[in-house]
Amino acid sequence: MRSRLSESAGRSFRLPRDEDASTNTSVENAFAVLNLFSAGTEALALSDIARLLDLPLSTAHRVVTTLCDAEFLSQQHAGGLYVTGLRVRELLNALYNRYPIRRRSARTLRELADATGQAAALYVPFGSHCLRIAGAQDRQQIHRPLLIGEALSLTSTPCGLVILAYAGPDQPEPAGAGPRPAEIRSTGYLSTVTDGLRSVAFPLIDADGRAFAAIAVEGSTLEFREPARSKLSTWSRIVRRLQDQCREHPDWTATPFEGLDSTHLHLRESHAQDFQGAS
């Protein structure tokens, strides 16, 4: 399998260097390789890594061998393609766990999934995105997989709009014809349908009245019909129980990446292409 990355894209993964400063080329090359993998999910051949980073093949081999020994990369088989290793997953979990609400929300997510028959997910703000960091799959597991770590735009997704609706008076309203923040605040949730996926999102509010996270119930519109008001009321009560606990434990509401500029990060805003053509 050949990499879909272009030559120019590969060169962009070289880390900026101060020519007057002392640098460790081996470390720089290792981070450049990891940056290369951060742009996509496909496996890469050694020749692709060397070509995209403009490295001699022998240098690229030394770097990926070191990264494999440290378990940041792994090889699918002898002489095969390279993929991210277990240490990368550990680093991702460490990032997600910086949000205290991740662990505290587990029971609520499971209760919502059981009550709705759909998947329930926790989203947190991450720069200009909202990041899915936890979830509970429906018992039958017949809906789309919970893609933990997927980054979605704050301004065009249900959980993002819910978070923005409680972001404070200085926050500009999202553009377009979507729901206004005042409408979301009046109901306390947002129910939308996008590309065959129904989502009902609820905010989690901190002591300052800002949404530090959002919880969404998500499922295919083929099975997830427009919920009746009685069901919405039941789901809201489930979320409010967690909200009440957050008031008693304000440390749960920490948002460690507030003010982060995520525009320069290689965040996957949609995994839809991963399923195109899948049998």
φ, ψ at 188 (rounded to 5°): 85, 10
Query: Residue 179: which domain range?
Result: 97-273
Q: Are residues 76 and 103 in the same domain?
A: no
Query: For the chain, what is the domain count?
Result: 2
Q: What is the pTM of this model?
A: 0.80
CA–CA distance, 180 with 9 (Å, rounded to integer): 38
Last residue of a domain, one of 36, 56, 85: 85
Does residue 278 form part of some domain? no
For residue 202 the two structure tokens come to: 């609820």
Q: Answer whether residue 161 is part of any domain.
A: yes
| DSSP classification of residue 117 | S
Q: Is residue 1 part of a domain?
A: no
Residue 91 lies in a domain: no
pLDDT 10s digits, 219-271: 989 889 999 999 999 999 999 999 999 999 999 999 998 888 877 776 655 54
- Asked whether residue 108 falls in the same domain as residue 236, the answer is yes
N- to C-terminal Cα separation, the chain:
18
Q: Provide the token pair at 204.
A: 């989690």
Name which of 217, 228, 112 is nearest 162 in CA terms. 217
| Helix/strand/coil for 201 | strand
* 110 and 134 together in one domain: yes
Residues 173, 263 share a domain: yes
The reported pLDDT for the residue numbered 21 is 46
Name residues whose C-beta falls within 8 Å of residue 229's C-beta, 6 or more positions apart in sequence.
Answer: none
Cα–Cα distance list, 210 to 32, 191, 222, 269 (Å): 37, 20, 34, 24
Q: What pLDDT does 238 receive?
A: 97
Question: Which pLDDT score, from 0 to 100, does residue 270 have?
Answer: 52
Judge whether 17 and 28 are in contact, CB under 8 Å: yes
Is 144 a domain residue?
A: yes
Q: Kindly give the confidence (pLDDT) of every residue in the chain, 279 residues in length, as a single tens digit, with 9 standing for 90 and above.
A: 444 454 544 545 555 555 444 456 889 999 999 988 887 667 999 999 999 999 999 999 999 999 999 999 999 988 899 999 999 989 989 999 999 999 999 999 999 999 999 999 999 999 888 999 999 988 665 545 567 888 888 888 899 999 999 986 655 555 555 678 888 999 999 999 988 889 999 999 999 999 999 999 999 898 899 999 999 999 999 999 999 999 999 999 999 988 888 777 766 555 433 323 332
Last residue of a domain, one of 54, 85, 116: 85
Same domain, 251 and 225: yes
123 and 23 co-located in one domain: no
Q: Are strands 82-84 and 151-153 parallel, antiparallel or unpaired?
A: unpaired
In a domain, 123, yes or no: yes
pLDDT score recorded for residue 137:
87
Pairing relation of β-strands 129-136 and 73-75?
A: unpaired
**CATH number of residue 229's parent domain:** 3.30.450.40
In a domain, 30, yes or no: yes
